[in-house]
Structure 1
Amino acid sequence: MSNTRKQIFMPFLYALLVATGVFIGRNFIKAPSSGGSNPLMIYPQSSKIATLINLIDEEYVDTVDREAIEEKVIPQILKNLDPHTVYIPAKDLNKVNEELQGSFGGIGVQFTMQNDTVMVIQVIQGGPSEKVGLLPGDRIVAVDDSIIAGKNIGTDAVMKKLKGEMGTEVKVGVLRRPNKDLIDYKITRGSIAINSVEVSYMINESTGYIKVDKFAQNTYQEFLTALAKLKANNCKEVIIDFRGNSGGLLDVAIRLCNEFLPAKDLIVYTEGKAQKRLDVKANGAGTCQDTKVIVLIDEFSASASEIFAGAIQDNDRGLVIGRRSFGKGLVQQQIPLPDGSALRLTVARYHTPSGRCIQKSYENGNDDYYEDIYKRYEHGEFFNQDSIQFDDELKYTTKNGRTVYGGGGVMPDIFVPRDTTMLTDYFAKLRMNGVIYRYALEYTDNNRQQLEKYNSAETLEQYLNTQSLLSDFLRYAKDKGVEYKRDEYQTSKQLIEVELKAYIARNMIDNEGFYPIIQQLDDVLIKAIEEAGKIES
């Protein structure tokens, strides 16, 4: 576009960015015009934005892409609202909804990129790939007769090739050690579940652990399955881990919470300008009303995670342990638009049973809102509870009279700071270069036959303890360009060793192998285990 065209066109765009009102969806009605009439009066029944778009579309000196203008302008308008009201273009809608829907069409493998080649880590039990015979350790070097190995293709591009409509067929060429010839497989894509319950297992004879990654359509059923598994092993206390869980579907959080609360206990209430207060209470049908419960949260636990944690805390039903949560107390409704796009519009605020709205401030704009996490870190909040300032005007009380605060996240009953005592520059370089992960992957690949003899985290770790992992790893790390530093290595030694074993276990038996080993480094979980036997139901 020439400078002259920019000078003509840009004032219209600036007007669009600052205008308010209806942004799409109106039928643009052109009024009859008479000679010499003001062009700004051509569309008297339209909003200012609709008028401007119509003027540009019909009167501007050059042809413009009306849809492209709308796609750019809509997000700018929404920036004047809260950070969680967002526009989702039609091309992105399926991808955005996929995680909440809980499934997608695919071949059923977990993979990683090793030396510019797709390496299968896990084959999903009962999935399309297992049915045709794919195995962990296989290299997928071709898809539909197109070579993908050695082409510097990214993970997203590989996913795009392997995913597709259920019932469609994809051909993959597989290299399997020690064979040198490709094995061709035709795989019919099926429904692949996106698990939101990452793992559940018994930590000790009476305490169970469930890690929930998100609140999707299938989360409640997965959660009930996990609970049943733990109860079958005589679980008396359950630790529910929502750390890193950014939320999801509100009704799913309510259903999970209902499992733990007696009849008529308030779970949450919502209220907005166009929505009257709506109280949601437990119905008394929960299966875990007598099960002791601990909830783990951190600075990345948001929305639905905070609803659950706030309900447990305000009803004095159990303990919340960790660090202050994110602070998202806004409810979005997804509204489909005519062209296949969607608007996620904030329609209400949710409040915990004590009356807290835990939404943090967003009055200084979106950038400041999301940078709040970094400010908390710099302020020392991750390491010292005393650094957090509470507003007495936002003081509330739980069912039993304990003081809790609103105004930005759920503050845990027991604060556990981040542990940085084992972090060193040497370890940071190992992690930054992915050396620990890559070594674990290669070790697994080279020793798969031996490792397959062990089907639990406990037995696999016992075997790995007999191997010279660390000395071999140090040579590997040096070969990858990370210079050995003795003092820093000694400081980080436990951290390195546990992560090596946990990643190897994950490569072999997925999260059931990873989490029981990595918990040795998890101060928040260790504290929760200590407290599990002390809680009164």
Structure 2
Amino acid sequence: MAPPPSPPPRRAPRGERAHGRGVLLLLLLALGGASSLTPRFSPRRSAAPAGRKSARPAGTSPRPALPPAQRLTGSEAPRFRLPKLQPERLSQLAPRLPEKLQELASSVRPLQVLSGFALALVLTFGTLFAGGKAINSFLAEDNNGEVLERALLFGAILENVKAAYVDTNVDIDKLFQTGVNAMLSTLDPYSEYEDAKESEDLTLRTTGRYGGVGLTIGSSEGSKVLVLGALEGFAFDAGVRAGDQIVQIDGMPLQGKSVEEVKNLLRGEPGTVVTLTLRRDGSPLPEIKLDVPRKLVRLPDVTLAAMIDRGVGYIRLDGFSEGTAAEVAFAIARMQAVGLDSLILDMRDNPGGLLNAAISVSQQLVPEGTEIVSTAGRVYSEGTSISYRSNRPPLLQPSVKLAVLVNPNTASAAEIVSGVVQDTDRGVIIGERTYGKGLVQVVEPLPGGAALKLTVARYYTPSGRCIQATAYDGGRVEATAARPAAPADGSVGEAPSAPAPTPPPAAPPLPGDEVPGRSRAAYLPRKLTAAEQAVYHTANGRVVSGGGGIAPDVEVKPRPVRDLERSLLQQGYFYSFASDWLGRHRGEPEQQVLQVTRDEDQVYQEFVRFVREQQTGQGGGRKLAKLIDVSLASSKLAEVEKALSAETSAAARQQVRQQVEQLRKLLLEQQLAQLDSQRQAIQQEVREAVLGRLTSPSRRIFEQLQSDPQVLAALDVVTNDERYDALLRPAATPTDAAAAETKG
């Protein structure tokens, strides 16, 4: 007879485990109080949508989730003032084995446990909130004693460095930040520690608000502070233009001041006024003084909303912050009031932002009751996901055709909106495959204004797919993981009635920056293969894939940028020519705009002359790199010259140099000849560079649409009912085709 099965190992009750996790956060993250990693906006747990099966790739299973940590408040979180711990005392409080830690916790009174741990960690983690019971529960869980031992060891290392390192000017804060960032860098590119300044910038990006004048500034040519952009409704309306040099602020010269210092001078209490002294290329005045009112600046996410054809509206959406849903709603309502048949939603280069903003925008597009997105991670209850559904009728009328523009820089929250539009067959996705970020971050505040940004969940589109394109081997991010089953209570989460002002999913780095910027990371980023991308189906039965981002229904490449145009852009030729042209054609901005648009051919010939003069060194003003010097052919010629010169006599070397120089001149003439063969594209860049100094950002965007191949493709789709409907129908299978042929 077989022996009776052993009872399962006892797990601490959920409340105790939550307190234990709170202690873990205290020890590792210096939270000054147990902190929750659960998103503050949490709808009810949801069952899978009715009539829709969540596909799961073979061989995968949901990872069991642990309950969220809980905050310790009131009597649960006493505060103690504790003296500094001596190094020898630290070793006494850091037993090597987790079992010894547990024994220590159970052999003394709760207050002694709390005081002992706080003493051990006060060097690096400050005041500790917790109770003896919480610590006891914490130590009872899997390997938590080992985690605590490592935290104590980290504190001991910092203390020894501070006390005994050969130099006295050791920056302990810098050491701490380096250690924490190195630890988080082993997970994925998105989990990171933000110091107080970085945390402030993150808050600004997600709330989109600050007190200031609405300027983007940068430095150039040493100490010059230049205006890179002026926000409409703020500094632009006061007369500031891109390209202006800020000389003084309230009479204070800016020579020697950093961009950060200038930014702080510009910001201030809304309602106050700041006086700017500017120098402007092409102005008849040597200096311009403008009184610019400070306001509560809200960075707009909708940078253009306009009718671009009869019955066709266009919305350019650049991000997702707290006010995004209201901006989109206003634009849709205004367009529908004048007659809207089709809408193009442009989310190219949109890096994402707040999860709730994406949900709020989505519910303006899809039918009431539609699942928008679901999230699953260890912060939720075991084996469950959180589903967000639209709780209101869509603002965009169902009869309005919808096209969404995307590209490889469309990511995160923007992919959530694209995913629900595609999975519900509400509209057509046009452009290029998106970035593929299927992970959710929350931001936890830390003492001193710092913050922890941590990946806590994956998100899934309505068809059940996770569109994460990269697997971080070693960081344990699995892009093809199936969505966990939902609880049996049948409850659903509803979309927020207004965007919540709480933690955002982090915007991803741009694709080109992800790996190089974190070259020492322990994870191994790997793009998913086609075999790893599971197959799913939209509401109409169209085939879509999981992993690898959102694939467009209509693939359209952007206008190609050829080598000469790229070199002119990278070396600043267009920007410098705009300064040169405005300096030689002084006048009022309205007159200059008229001249540029009326005499485009003449302006282009002036640009060609400007480029040629820069190659010979004849042009005045700023000297730019010669085009031949930055070309690939030039570097190859230099290698050839070096190789030949090493093996020949002085006379032969002189002959080699002469021949190489002749080749360089020939290559330069071929480059300059491309100013004619590539005139259409380069002339457009010249026009935009000059008008960019004179007109509003929204006007420049509007004019660019006229020659944008992806926008033109979207126009073609939404104005052709037959093609639009065909794109939303599933492709005919061989069986369907045979049946249709038999019937015919």
Taking structure 2 as the reference length, what is the TM-score of the superposition? 0.59
From 550, 559, 562, the counterpart of 1:423 = 562
Using the TM superposition, give the Cα deviation of residue 516 of structure 1 relative to its aligned residue in structure 2, in angstroms. 3.0
From 249, 265, 268, the counterpart of 2:373 = 268
> What secondary structure, in the 3-state scheme, does the structure 1 residue paired with 2:472 have?
coil
Using the TM superposition, give the Cα deviation of residue 274 of structure 1 relative to its aligned residue in structure 2, in angstroms. 2.3
The reply on whether 1:345 has 2:454 as its aligned counterpart is yes
Q: State the match for 2:150 in structure 1.
A: 49
Q: State the match for 1:391 in structure 2.
A: 531
- Unmatched runs of 5 consecutive residues or more in structure 1: 1-19, 377-386
Q: State the match for 2:396 in structure 1.
A: 288
> What secondary structure, in the 3-state scheme, does the structure 2 residue paired with 1:334 have?
strand
Greater RCO (CA < 8 Å, at least 6 residues apart)? 2
> What secondary structure, in the 3-state scheme, does the structure 2 residue paired with 1:192 have?
strand
- Whether contact under 8 Å (1:440, 1:504) holds in the other structure is yes
Cα deviation, 1:378-429, whole Å, max 9, x if unaligned, reads xxxxxxxxx9963376000000111000022111111123443x613x3222
- Whether contact under 8 Å (2:304, 2:702) holds in the other structure is no
- Amino acid in the other structure paired with 1:412: P
Using the TM superposition, give the Cα deviation of residue 513 of structure 1 relative to its aligned residue in structure 2, in angstroms. 2.3
- State the alpha-carbon separation in 2 of the partners of residues 56 and 388 from structure 1: 40
- Amino acid in the other structure paired with 1:497: Q
- Whether contact under 8 Å (1:87, 1:343) holds in the other structure is yes
- Whether contact under 8 Å (1:241, 1:297) holds in the other structure is yes
Cα deviation, 1:183-217, whole Å, max 9, x if unaligned, reads 66665532222121121222211212111111111
From 671, 675, 685, the counterpart of 1:499 = 685
- Whether contact under 8 Å (2:236, 2:696) holds in the other structure is no
Structure 1 residues 135, 486: closer, same or farther in 2, change over 3 A? Answer: closer
> What secondary structure, in the 3-state scheme, does the structure 2 residue paired with 1:127 have?
coil
- State the alpha-carbon separation in 2 of the partners of residues 101 and 214 from structure 1: 11
> What secondary structure, in the 3-state scheme, does the structure 1 residue paired with 2:448 have?
coil
- State the alpha-carbon separation in 2 of the partners of residues 300 and 136 from structure 1: 25
Tell me how many residue pairs correspond in the alignment: 498
The reply on whether 1:533 has 2:719 as its aligned counterpart is yes
Q: State the match for 2:614 in structure 1.
A: 480
From 427, 431, 434, the counterpart of 1:325 = 434
Q: State the match for 1:23 in structure 2.
A: 28
Structure 1 residues 507, 175: closer, same or farther in 2, change over 3 A? Answer: closer
Structure 1 residues 155, 532: closer, same or farther in 2, change over 3 A? Answer: farther
Q: State the match for 2:491 in structure 1.
A: none
Q: State the match for 2:704 in structure 1.
A: 518
- State the alpha-carbon separation in 1 of the partners of residues 580 and 528 from structure 2: 44
- State the alpha-carbon separation in 1 of the partners of residues 375 and 92 from structure 2: 48
- Amino acid in the other structure paired with 1:351: Y
Q: State the match for 1:435 in structure 2.
A: 573
Q: State the match for 1:8 in structure 2.
A: none
> What secondary structure, in the 3-state scheme, does the structure 2 residue paired with 1:474 have?
helix
- State the alpha-carbon separation in 1 of the partners of residues 554 and 186 from structure 2: 37
- Unmatched runs of 5 consecutive residues or more in structure 2: 1-24, 33-79, 106-116, 118-147, 478-507, 516-526, 616-626, 628-667, 729-744
- Amino acid in the other structure paired with 2:371: L
- State the alpha-carbon separation in 2 of the partners of residues 373 and 512 from structure 1: 27
From 531, 549, 563, the counterpart of 1:409 = 549
Q: State the match for 2:208 in structure 1.
A: 102
Structure-to-structure mapping, 1:148-297, within 5 angstroms? 148=254, 158-166=262-270, 170-175=274-279, 177-180=283-286, 189-275=294-380, 276-290=384-398, 291-297=400-406
The reply on whether 1:360 has 2:477 as its aligned counterpart is no
- Whether contact under 8 Å (2:585, 2:592) holds in the other structure is no
Q: State the match for 1:62 in structure 2.
A: 164
> What secondary structure, in the 3-state scheme, does the structure 1 residue paired with 2:394 have?
coil
Cα deviation, 1:259-297, whole Å, max 9, x if unaligned, reads 111111211111112223121122242210322111111
Structure 1 residues 242, 145: closer, same or farther in 2, change over 3 A? Answer: same
Structure 1 residues 214, 463: closer, same or farther in 2, change over 3 A? Answer: same
- State the alpha-carbon separation in 1 of the partners of residues 460 and 683 from structure 2: 44
The reply on whether 1:71 has 2:177 as its aligned counterpart is yes
- Whether contact under 8 Å (1:23, 1:49) holds in the other structure is no
Q: Which moved more, 1:443-452 or 1:299-308?
A: 443-452
- Whether contact under 8 Å (1:444, 1:508) holds in the other structure is no
Q: State the match for 2:675 in structure 1.
A: 489
Q: State the match for 2:234 in structure 1.
A: 127
> What secondary structure, in the 3-state scheme, does the structure 1 residue paired with 2:530 have?
coil
> What secondary structure, in the 3-state scheme, does the structure 2 residue paired with 1:508 have?
coil
> What secondary structure, in the 3-state scheme, does the structure 1 residue paired with 2:459 have?
strand
- State the alpha-carbon separation in 1 of the partners of residues 340 and 90 from structure 2: 83
Cα deviation, 1:144-186, whole Å, max 9, x if unaligned, reads 444336x6x6655543442345456645334574344x56666
> What secondary structure, in the 3-state scheme, does the structure 2 residue paired with 1:100 have?
helix
- Whether contact under 8 Å (1:217, 1:252) holds in the other structure is yes
- State the alpha-carbon separation in 1 of the partners of residues 173 and 513 from structure 2: 37
> What secondary structure, in the 3-state scheme, does the structure 1 residue paired with 2:296 have?
strand
- State the alpha-carbon separation in 2 of the partners of residues 498 and 508 from structure 1: 16
- Whether contact under 8 Å (1:298, 1:324) holds in the other structure is yes
Structure 1 residues 452, 118: closer, same or farther in 2, change over 3 A? Answer: farther
Structure 1 residues 374, 517: closer, same or farther in 2, change over 3 A? Answer: same
> What secondary structure, in the 3-state scheme, does the structure 2 residue paired with 1:201 have?
strand
Using the TM superposition, give the Cα deviation of residue 375 of structure 1 relative to its aligned residue in structure 2, in angstroms. 12
- State the alpha-carbon separation in 2 of the partners of residues 451 and 418 from structure 1: 31
Taking structure 1 as the reference length, what is the TM-score of the superposition? 0.80
Using the TM superposition, give the Cα deviation of residue 355 of structure 1 relative to its aligned residue in structure 2, in angstroms. 0.4
Which protein shows a greater Rg? Answer: 2
